[in-house]
């Protein structure tokens, strides 16, 4: 756990200094330190850090030609990571290079979205790490990359650029087909968070949940990967779903006094609400909460933008101080518990090929 807390401290401090720095060059240096810290922690880890890391490394070792990449990708129509594996072999055959490549792309995509569209980059990076979006690709590399690419669609969604939005969604789906679940978002949720919109979100979420098991059964006939999205869940998954519900309720409660960036807040709240619905309802039907939370991440990433808008609207010093204490305490506890409980992120060990590990 210490390595993750140190990384959090470095990233938040570096981004804070970058936001306060008047010099463009110095600001970029601080940002580079923050991004480098995240990439290094992800890229220097051993193959046993992350439940599925070993499987991705095995795929990497088997995909050495372009034909290998196409053949493996054609099984699920997800060519992205296999082509990336093939290209990485031009750099090195060691799996460290593969983990670094994944980290560079994931961190790069997420960071671009945050730096461009967040109202407070310090808060956003803090949420990005403590809510587990950063460490998600340590385990689910394929979907982690898809989520990172989809993060770039936030801009076209806000700017109402359909072509760009579809391009990012389709690019993400080439890495993991689950990204296609975000296609209706552009047409349905980019509006004020009214009662009508909430009913629509609830209706669509429940409809999706109702057909959830059927979709899993059909998908499982073609690939065993999707079988993990159903079945009995672990206690940790239930706690996470409960936390998502609590956060969603909180964002609704504090919506009324939001004046600045109200339209953006409503859009992100719609996304977060839909993610909450598709997490809660299938769980009530007995589906694996941990599996469903993998789908929810496309939508719950909106919390990275919701918190900064909320803090922008807190003008009273006393109230602001209360929210800061609540916010930091909640997310640090969440970060520690989720990192220790999920995806075999603990203990963190370095790649044994590193010189200082010899």
- Give the 3-state DSSP-derived string for 74-90, with helices as H, strands as E and coil as C: HCCCCCHHHHHHHHHCC
- For residue range 160-205, list pLDDT tens digits in order: 889 999 999 999 988 888 888 888 778 776 655 566 666 666 666 5
Residue 229 confidence (pLDDT) above 50:
no
What is the separation of C-alpha 117 from the centre of its chain, rounded to a whole number of angstroms? 16
What confidence category does residue 258 fall into, taking pLDDT thresholds of 50, 70 and 90?
confident
Check whether 216 has a pLDDT greater than 50: no
Cα dihedral value 216, 217, 220, 225, nearest 10: 30
Burial 237-274 (b: 16+ CB within 10 A, else e): beebbebbeebbeebeebbeebeebeebbbbbbbbbbb
Report CA 167 to chain centroid distance, whole Å. 19
Distances (CA, A) of 34 to 30, 102, 108: 6, 17, 11
Residue-level pLDDT at 221: 40
Q: What is the pLDDT of residues 125-162, one digit of tens each?
A: 999 999 889 998 888 888 899 999 999 999 999 888 89
Q: What is the rounded radius of gyration, in angstroms, for the C-alpha atoms of the chain? A: 20
Cross-strand bridge partners of residue 281: none
- C-alpha angle 12-16-17 in degrees, rounded to nearest 5: 120
249 versus 295: which is more confidently predicted? 249
Distances in Å between the Cα of 228 and the Cα atoms of 222, 293, 294 are 13, 11, 10
Interval 33-74: pLDDT, tens: 999 999 999 999 998 888 888 888 988 888 888 888 888 777
DSSP output for 302-315: THHHHHHHHHHT--
**Is the confidence at residue 96, as pLDDT, over 80?**
yes
- Return the domain boundaries, the chain: 184-313
Q: How confident is the model at residue 276 (pLDDT cuts 50, 70, 90)?
A: confident
- CA–CA separation, 351 vs 181, rounded Å? 35
Q: Which helix (H) or strand (E) holds 204?
A: helix 195-210
Residue 332: pLDDT above 50?
A: yes
Cα–Cα distance, 15 to 198 (Å, whole number): 35
pLDDT score, position 197: 63
* pTM of the shown model: 0.85
- Could you give the percent of the chain with pLDDT greater than 90? 30
pLDDT of residue 190: 62
DSSP state of 219: H
pLDDT of residue 218: 40
Q: CA-to-CA distance for 291 and 285, rounded, in angstroms?
A: 13
pLDDT: which is higher, 171 or 289? 171
Q: Which two tokens stand for residue 91?
A: 């750099």
Strand-pair partners of 329? none
């Amino acid at each position: 756990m210490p390595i993750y807390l140190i990384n959090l401290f470095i990233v938040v401090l570096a981004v804070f200094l970058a936001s306060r720095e008047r010099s463009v060059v110095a600001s970029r240096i601080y940002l580079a330190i923050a991004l480098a810290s995240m990439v290094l922690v992800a890229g220097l880890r051993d193959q046993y850090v992350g439940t599925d890391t070993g499987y991705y490394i095995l795929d990497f070792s088997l995909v050495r030609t372009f034909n290998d990449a196409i053949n493996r990708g054609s099984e699920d129509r997800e060519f992205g990571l296999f082509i990336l594996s093939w290209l990485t072999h031009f750099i090195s055959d060691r799996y460290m290079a593969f983990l670094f490549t994944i980290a560079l792309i994931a961190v790069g995509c997420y960071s671009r979205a945050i730096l461009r569209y967040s109202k407070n980059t310090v808060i956003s990076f803090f949420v990005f790490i403590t809510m587990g979006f950063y460490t998600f690709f340590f385990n689910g590399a394929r979907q982690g990359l898809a989520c990172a690419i989809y993060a770039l669609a936030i801009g076209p969604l806000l700017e109402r650029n359909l072509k760009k939005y579809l391009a990012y969604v389709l690019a993400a789906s080439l890495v993991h087909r689950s990204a296609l679940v975000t296609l209706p978002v552009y047409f349905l949720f980019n509006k004020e968070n009214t009662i009508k919109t909430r009913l629509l979100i609830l209706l669509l979420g429940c409809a999706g949940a109702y057909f959830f098991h059927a979709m899993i059964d059909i998908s499982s006939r073609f690939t065993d990967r999707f079988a993990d999205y159903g079945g009995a869940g672990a206690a940790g998954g239930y706690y996470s779903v409960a936390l998502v519900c609590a956060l969603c309720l909180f964002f609704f409660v504090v919506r009324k006094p939001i004046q600045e960036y109200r339209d953006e807040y409503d859009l992100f709240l719609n996304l977060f609400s839909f993610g909450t619905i598709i997490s809660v309802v299938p769980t009530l039907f007995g589906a694996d909460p941990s599996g469903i939370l993998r789908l929810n991440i496309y939508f719950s990433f909106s919390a990275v933008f919701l918190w900064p808008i909320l803090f922008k609207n807190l003008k009273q010093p006393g109230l602001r101080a209360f929210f800061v204490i609540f916010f930091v305490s909640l997310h640090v506890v969440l970060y520690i518990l989720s990192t220790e409980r999920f995806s075999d992120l603990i203990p963190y060990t370095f790649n044994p090929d590193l010189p200082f590990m010899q």
